[in-house]
Amino acid sequence: AEVSADAALVAAIVDSGVDMFAFDWDMTITSVHCYNSRVQPEDVPGRWTSDIPDAEDFASVLNAIQAAGRHWCIVTFGQKDVVQAYLQQLGFEEDHCLICSPLGPGERYSQAKAPPKDKNDMLVDVVRLKGLPALDRLVLFDDDGRNVMAAQGAGFRAVTVDPGRGMSAPLFLEYLQRG
């Protein structure tokens, strides 16, 4: 049954018409807001299994995207090195991960640096980097409806996800139907 579930996942990804699956991190993949909770990369090995609901299932979603010949990335307002630490625990090495963030390693927002109003600039960068033929070949999964509405307004596909539930294969397929 395991193989057929993976095969169904790959088929749904191929049929979706999407080339790039862009996932928000905090409260989309995780059940905690890692940035607001000040999670550091060195904290991740001791907490990742409780922070990512259905962690192995989420890893299988990312693997299915790759098996379908498509791409995935993380678009976050959080810290790339923290996200990378989680992805490494899931078995994804740094050179196989595209993580987009306005922050540098260890950097935090301040009066001098505010987070962007939406994720559209990061999404455009991903489209250019991967040479996608059209904006609607990318789908954003985000728990913040403002980011989703902005992305849709710019011509991307985007889906609002239930905050903190993670991204199990069944949830991913449900969201994909919405998008």
Whole-number percent of the chain with pLDDT over 90: 91
Determine the Cα angle at 175 with ends 146 and 83, to 5°: 65
21 pLDDT more than 90: yes
CA-to-CA separations, 58 to 33, 113, 169, in angstroms, rounded:
17, 32, 7
Report strand pairing: 20-23 vs 99-100. Answer: unpaired
- CA separation for the pair 41, 23 (Å, rounded): 19
DSSP state at residue 155: T
Distances (CA, A) of 128 to 121, 123, 131, 142, 157: 11, 9, 5, 21, 16
Amino acid identity at 58: F
pTM score of the predicted model: 0.95
Confidence bin at 3 (pLDDT 50/70/90): low
Q: pLDDT by residue (tens digit) across 128-165?
A: 999 999 999 999 999 999 999 999 999 999 999 999 99
In tens, the pLDDT along 26-35 reads: 999 999 999 9
**Residue 52 to residues 47, 62, 103, 134, 163, Cα–Cα distance (Å):** 9, 14, 22, 31, 12
Mean pLDDT of 115-125: 97
pLDDT digits (tens, 9 = 90+) for 39-98: 999 999 999 999 999 999 999 999 999 999 999 999 999 999 999 999 999 999 988 899
Q: Is the pLDDT of residue 4 over 70?
A: no
